[in-house]
């Protein structure tokens, strides 16, 4: 999946728990309002994950209308918060890691020594 064309700074909200992935624009917008207590037209990006963990849907208002992006992993699962309810906010960099299947909760930096000379 190419990076989602979201302007910076955009707030990213993960819906904790499991979401029925049969939901489309309207069903997810209702979840944003009722469960996350947010406005789906606020410009924030809202992420939802299914029961098996291999499918994620992103809902975002681009200023003209709602956009719905989805990604399904061939292998593995998307890393998601353990809590059953609530919301977790991410940075755009953490969202990028999540969509690549990287554990965004504990990113590890690799140290590459440079030769001084």
How does pLDDT run across 3-16, given as a tens digit for each residue? 555 666 788 998 88
Looking at residue 67, what is its pLDDT?
93
- Count how many residues are written for the chain: 117
User: Does the residue 96 lie in any domain?
Assistant: no
Rounded-to-integer distance, Cα 94 and Cα 102, Å:
9
Q: How many domains does the chain have?
A: 1
The answer to whether position 89 is within a domain reads no
Contact 45, 95 (CB under 8 A): yes
Would you state the pLDDT for residue 33? 93
Q: What is the pLDDT of residue 1?
A: 45
In a domain? residue 72: yes
Q: What residues make up the domain containing 41?
A: 12-84
Q: Does the residue 55 lie in any domain? A: yes
Confidence of residue 113 (pLDDT cuts 50, 70, 90): low
Classify residue 16: in a domain, yes or no: yes
36-91 pLDDT, tens digit each? 899 999 989 999 999 999 999 999 998 899 999 999 999 888 888 777 667 888 88
Residue 71 lies in a domain: yes
- CA dist 41 to 4, 33, 61, 111, Å? 17, 10, 5, 41
Q: Give residue 101's pLDDT.
A: 82
The mean pLDDT of the chain is 83
Strand, helix or coil at 74? coil
Judge whether 18 lies within some domain: yes
Is 0.85 surpassed by the pTM of this model? no
Residue 79 in domain: yes
Label residue 35 by pLDDT band (50, 70, 90). confident
- pLDDT grade for 94, boundaries at 50, 70 and 90: confident
């Amino acid at each position: 999946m190419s990076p989602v064309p979201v302007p910076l700074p955009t707030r990213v909200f993960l819906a904790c728990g499991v979401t029925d992935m049969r939901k489309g624009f309207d069903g997810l917008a209702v979840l944003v309002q009722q469960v996350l207590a947010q406005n789906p037209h606020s410009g924030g990006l809202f992420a939802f994950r299914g029961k098996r963990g291999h499918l994620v849907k992103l809902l975002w208002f681009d200023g003209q209308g709602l956009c719905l992006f989805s990604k399904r992993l061939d292998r593995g699962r998307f890393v998601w918060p353990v809590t059953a309810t609530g919301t977790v906010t991410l940075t755009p960099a953490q969202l990028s890691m999540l969509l690549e299947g990287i554990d965004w909760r504990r990113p590890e930096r690799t140290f590459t020594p440079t030769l001084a000379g």
